[in-house]
Homo-oligomer: A and B are copies of this chain.
């Protein structure tokens, strides 16, 4: 998977120009991975593409986070744009953003460009949370490495 390679490059990067380049590359990769063509996807197909269950996708819709179209039989049809939205939602959820905050954010998106300032605030707060989590996770990683090294030594669990 080329994503890993790009992430490695990102983590090694210090100049902000290269950083931006990698971000764009990852975005392009996302688009081709999650929306391989323009044909609308059923709820099952969309779920498989983004790694959620059909149930969860319906739940997200009910909460106002996505609005897929409907075909003549009333079935959901997820466009490439819908899929991009779903990928964004899963990323944010995985990074600990709550459903409530996500609903607030998406409501702003639907209200249009004049809400960008407020959205920016939300994303800045989210970035801080992610950074703090990265720190905590690193600490946890250190702790498990320490445990792994200590077997046969320290007796304190």
Contacts and interface: CB of A to CB of B under 8 A. Distances in A.
Interface of A: 3-4, 7, 10-11, 19-20, 22-24, 26-27, 81, 84-85, 88, 91-92, 94-95, 106, 109-110, 113, 116, 119-120, 123-124, 126-127, 130-131, 133-149, 151-152, 155-157
B146 A27 contact: yes
A119 B126 CA distance: 35
Contact of A155 (B94, B113, B127, B133): B113
Q: Which DSSP category, helix, strand, loop or mixed, fits chain A's interface?
A: helix
A81 B157 CA distance: 10
Contacts of A141: 95, 127, 130-131, 134
How many monomers of this chain does the complex have?
Answer: 2
A11 B131 CA distance: 14
19 contacts: A7-B135, A7-B142, A10-B142, A23-B149, A85-B157, A94-B136, A94-B139, A95-B144, A109-B157, A110-B157, A113-B155, A116-B151, A123-B144, A127-B145, A130-B140, A130-B144, A133-B137, A134-B137, A137-B137
A23 B139 contact: no
Contacts of A144: 92, 95, 123, 126-127, 130
A156 B84 contact: yes
B156 A81 contact: yes
